[in-house]
Amino acid sequence: MATINFDKEKKLIFSAIQPTGTFTLGNYLGAVKNWGPLQEEYNCIYAVADLHSITVRQEPAKLRQNSMQAYALMQACGLDPEKSILFFQSHNHNHAELSWVLSCYTQFGELGRMTQFKDKSQKHADNINAGLFTYPVLMAADILAYNADLVPIGVDQKQHLELARNIAQRFNQVYGDFFTLPEPFIPRMGAKVMSLQDPTKKMSKSDENPNACILILDDKDTIIRKFKRAVTDSEAEVRYAQGKDGINNLMTIYSIVTGKSLEDVEKEFEGKGYGDFKLAVGEAVADHLAPVREKFDRLMADKAYMKKCYTEGAEKAMMITQRTLSKVYRKVGFTDFR
């Protein structure tokens, strides 16, 4: 049986990652590469949120593939299954069971005000299902099942965390202090990485132009080719300045992956053209991401190790959440099973 080696003095972070494909260079440099160091400061629990994925129609084989890739990417980007709990959400039934109880402490009007429900209903007008409406309750159950202290969120998730706090407070008012009220966790962020084709916009994998975005699993030739096609300006001078959005973006990326200051970058490419600079950025990024790609490939090829990791991860997750769920069942008046 798997054992949990968490330090009781550390706060607990919970985060769930949608299996929607690989991370961009922007995701990686902005936040993901900080996951590893977080394990030293906090108790960390990460789930691949496959239950949440099916609010939108999924092709089953593709969902399985994306879920496995997301799990491998978590490890490839620095998460250690010996230090953190890493598992598939669907492997821990306590999430769904707690979600049902919490849905009975959630007001219909609260769910109706969720902006993501309105947005997704417009995007998927042919499939406005009940899960799309109630999934914020499952999100609350994901968090409250572990009595998480902190939850990393972006602007689009702020409303969902507030709902989780409201549900917890409502339950606590009826049954006494039980659930921890989770706080938003604002991780240390790297610099914002912009599109290679429109450097006034954030890099995004949903960009229609495939040359605008670097994916962390892109091979070296692809990365270099995309950087060679990056939009710059007509000055042909590598310097950081207002109005040079394309060069500023490339200089920022190069600075992060090499550890050099912007001043050092300017000196290094003084008198050189943009062609030399773009090639250098592409090679530096490819070399920086090589260990991630290599570890990802090793993990995806080792199915036995992956299964061992996610099985033990689910066992650890269930040990924590079963205690929470049993106490919740007792508090609401369900008959003891054992």
Residue numbers annotated as active site:
120, 202, 205
| DSSP E strands, 217-259 | none
Q: Strands (DSSP E) along 158-261, which ranges?
A: 183-185
| Strand (E) or helix (H) holding 152 | strand 150-152
Exposure string for 230-256, b = 16+ CB within 10 A, e = fewer: bbbeeeebbeeeeebbbbbbbbbbbbb
- Could you give the C-alpha distances from 132 to 62, 100, 117, 164, in angstroms and in order? 20, 15, 6, 16
Structure tokens at 70: 């997301």
Sequence-ordered alpha helix ranges (H) in 87-157? 94-103, 108-112, 115-123, 130-144
The amino acid present at 199, given as its one-letter code, is P
